[in-house]
Structure 1
Amino acid sequence: MPVARVYSPEPRFFDLGEDYGDAVRAAEFPQALLRFRNDRAAAEVGLETLTGPEWIDHFGRFAPLPGQPGPVAMRYHGHQFRTYNPDLGDGRGFLAAQMRDAGGRLVDLGTKGSGRTPWSRGADGRLTLKGGVREVLAAEMLQRLGVPTSRALSLIETGEALERGDEPSPTRSAVLVRLSHSHIRFGTFQRAAYLGRKDQLEILLEHARSLYHPHVAPGDAAGFLAEVVDASARLAARWIAAGFVHGVLNTDNLNVTGESFDYGPWRFLPHYEPGFTAAYFDQFGLYAFARQPEAVFWALTQLGGALKPIDDADALTSALNGFGPAYIRHLRAAFLERLGVLSLGEAADQRLLDAALALLREGGAALRWEPLFHDWFAGFASSARALSGPRAKLYQGETFDAFRFALFEHEPDRPERLEASRFARAEPEELLIDEVEAIWAAIDSGDDWAPFEAKIARIRAD
C-alpha cells in the first residue's frame, strides 16, 4: 500500500450516482513535473508516505487511490455575477477522492486543470501554471491568517502551451489538487431546484446534513440552512479581518461548510479601501472588499430559495435572518484573534473593532492593512515595539488614542506568542500583488522557483 495506516477512504459523494456527477477520465499530459507537494496537508489524510513516483501517478495521472472509485465531475448550477447559469458544472476539474482526516472530518481531493469534462462548454479544461502558483500562495496565506480554507495539496506542471486572453500566451500549464472540507456548493442545490427535482433536493440535503452538519435533525432544511448561514458569516468575517478579496463570489464558489476555495483573481488589501476589487472584470464592484458580506448573504438567499420545495418558507427566512448578527459576532471575534487579545464583552469588543477600522481608514495608503495587526498584537505588551517601529509616526492623534484605549482594555491572549521570530522583524509577512507577480516572473522567465519556495517557508514560519 502506498498510503499510511491512518489513511481512511470514504467516497460518500460517489454513492449519490449519476444525478449528481459524471464519471470522467483525466487528460493525458505530455509531462509531469512536481512543483509543490504539501506534506503537511498530506499527513492529515495519510498520504505523506507516497513516494515521488506514486505522488505523480495519483496526482498527475490520477490513478485512483486505494478504496476510491475514480473521478467524477460534479453537477451544479449557479448565479454568476447574479445572472443564473444552468450550464455550469466541473468543467476543468473533478472530485478525485474522499477520506477522513486526522480530526475525523470528511474531506475531498478536488482537481483544477485536469482536463475536459461534459461541463467544459468548449473550454480546454486546463489550468495555467501561474493560476496554480497563485492558488498555492493564497491558500497558504489564508491558513496562516486563520481563514477557513481549502489547502493546495499538489501542483504539477503538465507541459502544454495554453492560450489565454487575460495573460501573455502561450503560457505554461499545470494541474492542481486541493484538499477541501466539501465541494458541495450552493449551486449544487440550485440545480436540483431548477430541474424541479424535489427528490434530488431531499437526497442532497440528507447527504450534506449527515456529513457536515449532523446535529441538525433529518429533513430539517431550515436547520441545515441556519448552520450554513453561520459558517458563511464566519467565513465572510474572516476574509474581512484578513484584508482578503476573493474576487468571484458566485453561488458555485461558496460551499455548505463555509470554507473558502477556488482562488482565481484574489487580492490582499494593501490598505483600507472598501471599494477595492480583485477581478478586472468586476466592473461595478459587486464583489469589492467591503461588499463581500453582502455578496455572501445574497448567495445564501439563493440557497434558501432552492430549499423552499422541501421546507417552510418562514422557517427558511428566519434562518437567513441570522446572518447579520452572526456576521458581526464573528467579525468581532476575528479582529480580537488578529490582535491577540481576549474578549471583554460585546460592548468593549465592538468598541475595539470600530476603533481599529477607524484607524485603518484614517491611515489610508500610509498604514497598510497587515502591519497594524503585526505592530499591536497582544495589545499593551507590544507598545514599545510598535511605538519605536517604522510606523511610529502614524500612531498618534485622537483616532489612534481611541484605538489604543480600546485595545488596552483587553487582556492579551497568550502574550508569550510575541516570542515568535516573526515579531522580531519590523515588517509582517504580506502577500500583495507586486510580490505575487515578482514570484511568477522569476518562474516564467528563468524557471527560478527559489522565490516561491522561500515565500512558502516564510508564510509557514513562526
Structure 2
Amino acid sequence: MACSMKIPFVNAYAQLPDACFAKLPPTPVRAPRLIRFNYPLAQELGIDSSAASDQDIADIFAGNRVPDGADPLAMAYCGHQFGQLNPQLGDGRALLLGDVIDQQGRQRDIQLKGSGRTPFSRGGDGRSPLGPALREYILCEAMYALGVPTTRALAVVSSGEQVVREQPEPGAVFTRVAASHIRVGTLQLFALRQDEQALRALADHVLERHYPHLDRTADDRYVQLFAAICRRQAELIAQWLLLGFIHGVMNTDNMTLSGETIDYGPCAFMDAFKAGQVFSSIDQRGRYAYQNQPAIGQWNLARLAEAMLSLFPGDEDAAIQQATTILKDYNNIHSQAWEQGMVRKLGFSSVVAGDVQRIAGL
C-alpha cells in the first residue's frame, strides 16, 4: 500500500559503522488508533500529512506501516545506572525510523518508542503502556514551551493490546523527536569495546551534527567537542533547577550529547522547595535528588571524558589534564547560568556583590 504521508528522511545515523545499531522493522500492533498527533511539529519537520487520514497516521506511527525512505534501527549503547556500569543496554523497545532535515535546516531524529522487541531488549516485551506515553508527551512539550532544550512529542498511538507491568494496562507507541538520540553511553560502549573506528566515527558525527561551529580540522577538535558538551549540560541542568525539575534517572544512558532533556521517567516538578526531593521510587539513597543533579551531571561527564580520552591529542597524562581542566570549569558555567536565571526570575537588571548569596538563601 502506498504511503499517504511524505517524510523527507536522510538517515545519516544509518551510515555509521554497523556496530552502532541493529537494523530491524517495528513489530506491528493489533489495532492502532491515533490518540494525539502534533501537527505543528510535523510541519516543522517537513512532514506532509495533508493526504493522510487519522488511520494512516496511526498505522505509520504504530509501526504497522513503515514510511517510504525510513531505515529503522535500534541504537547500541551502554551506561552507568545508579553509578554501576551496565555494559550492554541499547534501544530495547525503541526504533529510530530515521532522521530528517527540518524547515530550519536542523537534523532531527524520529523514533518510535514501544515498537517491539529488539536485540537489546534483555527479556523485555518491547512495548510501552499508554499512561507513560501520554505523560511523556505532556512533559516534553511543557519543557519545550518553558524554553528548556528537550526531546519533542510527535504522536501517541494506542495499540489495541495490553501490556503487563504491575497489572495489565493499555499499550501504546510514542513517537519522539530529538536533535539526536546519541548519549554519553553511546560513546562509552565503543570505548569499552576498544572500537576506535566506531568511537571516532560517532564523535565526528556528533561534532558535525551538533557543534558545527567547531573547527573539524583542528588537532584538539575532540577536546573542543568535550568542552562544548560540558557547557550545554551545565546550562541545561541550571534550567532544570530554576524550574524545580527533578529528572529522576540521570544515568549516563539518559544524558544526550546534544544537550537535550531526554527520557521522562520518574520525573516531576517540586511544588514546595526541598533540596533533597526525590520522586523516583527506586532512588532510595537520593542519588538523583534535586540538589545532587549538578554534581551528577559532572560525574556523568567525567565518564564521557574517560570514553573520549583516546581521541584527545598528546599522551594519556596530557589528555587527562585537558579533561580535568574542562570538568573543573563545569561548576563555574553551571553556577553562572543558574545565577543569571535567578536574576531574570526575580526581575533584577543586574547583580552586585552579595546578591548571589542572598538569592541562594531564598
What TM-score, normalized to structure 1? 0.72
Residue of structure 1 equivalent to 2:315? none
Match of 2:328 in 1: 321
1:209 to 207, 210, 213: 207
Q: Which amino acid letter does the alignment assign opposite residue 327 of structure 2?
A: L
Q: Residues 180 and 337 from structure 1, CA distance in 2 versus in 1: closer, same or farther, beyond 3 angstroms? A: farther
Among candidates 342, 356, 361, match of residue 358 of structure 1: 361
CA contact (8 A) 1:136 1:151 kept: yes
Structure 2: tracts of 5 or more residues without a match: 313-318
Equivalent in the alignment of 2:342 = 335
Query: Does the CA-based 8 Å contact 1:90-1:117 persist in structure 2?
Result: yes
Kept after mapping to 1: 8 A contact 2:113/2:128: yes
**Which residue does 1:57 correspond to in 2?**
59
**Amino acid of the structure 2 residue aligned with 1:344:** S
CA displacement 1:144-195 (0-9 Å, x = unmatched): 2221111111011112222213xxx111111100111110000000000000
Which SS does the other structure have where 1:161 is aligned?
strand
99-108 or 126-135: bigger deviation: 99-108
Cα distance in 1 for partners of 2:272, 2:357 equals: 16
Whole-Å Cα distance in 2 between the matches of residues 240 and 98 of structure 1? 31
Structure 1 residues 207, 170: closer, same or farther in 2, change over 3 A? same
Q: Percent identity?
A: 32
2:273 corresponds to which letter in structure 1? Y
Q: Is the 8 A contact 2:33 2:55 kept in 1?
A: no
Separation in 1, partners of 2:103, 2:349: 30
Contact 1:244 1:268 in 2 (8 A): yes
Equivalent residues in 2 for 1:405-444, closer than 5 Å? none
AA matched with 2:289: A
Q: Separation in 2 of the partners of 1:57 and 1:160?
A: 14
Kept in 2, the 8 Å contact 1:24–1:72? The answer is: yes
Structure 1 residues 72-221: aligned runs within 5 Å? 72-165=73-166, 169-218=167-216, 220-221=221-222
- Measure, in 2, the Cα distance between the counterparts of 1:330 and 1:44: 29
Secondary structure in 1 aligned to 2:117?
A: coil
1:246 to 2:247 alignment? yes
Q: Is the 8 A contact 1:142 1:242 kept in 2?
A: no
AA aligned to 1:174 is A
Q: CA deviation at 1:57?
A: 2.7
Residues 172 and 307 (structure 1), Cα distance of their counterparts in 2 relative to 1, 3 Å cut:
same
Contact 1:3/1:46 (<8 A) preserved: no
Amino acid at match of 1:177: T
Bigger radius of gyration, 1 or 2? 1
Structure 2 residue aligned with 1:29? 29
| Inter-CA distance 305–93: structure 2 relative to 1 (3 Å threshold) | same
Q: How far apart are the structure 2 equivalents of 1:111 and 1:49? A: 18
Q: Distance in 2 between matches of 1:137 and 1:164?
A: 21
Is the Cα–Cα contact under 8 Å of residues 17 and 198 in structure 2 kept in the other structure? no
Q: How far did 1:8 drift? A: 4.3
The runs of 5 or more residues in structure 1 that have no matched partner are: 360-462
Output the CA distance in 2 between the equivalents of 1:62 and 1:146.
34
Following superposition, the deviation at residue 2 of structure 1 comes to 4.3
Counterpart position of 2:260: 259
Q: Structure 1 or 2: larger strand share? A: 2
What is the letter of the counterpart of residue 38 of structure 2?
A: N
Partner of 1:301: 302
Amino acid at match of 1:208: V
Task: Give 1:42 shift.
Answer: 1.3
| d(CA) in 1 for partners of 2:64, 2:297 | 33
Residue 20 of structure 2 corresponds to residue 45 of structure 1: no
Alignment coverage as a number of residue pairs:
349
Equivalent residue number for residue 230 of structure 1: 231
Equivalent position SS for 1:94: strand
Compare the two structures and name the one with the higher helix fraction.
Answer: 1
Paired residues of 2:29 and 2:64 also in contact (CA < 8 A)? no
The AA in structure 1 aligned to 2:77 is Y
Can you list the C-alpha shifts for 1:282-316, whole angstroms capped at 9, x where unaligned? 00000001111111110000000001112122222
Equivalent AA in structure 2 for residue 90 of structure 1 = D
Q: Is the 8 A contact 1:39 1:48 kept in 2?
A: no
TM-score by length of 2: 0.91
Deviations 1:32-60 (A, max 9, x none): 11111111211210226352233123211
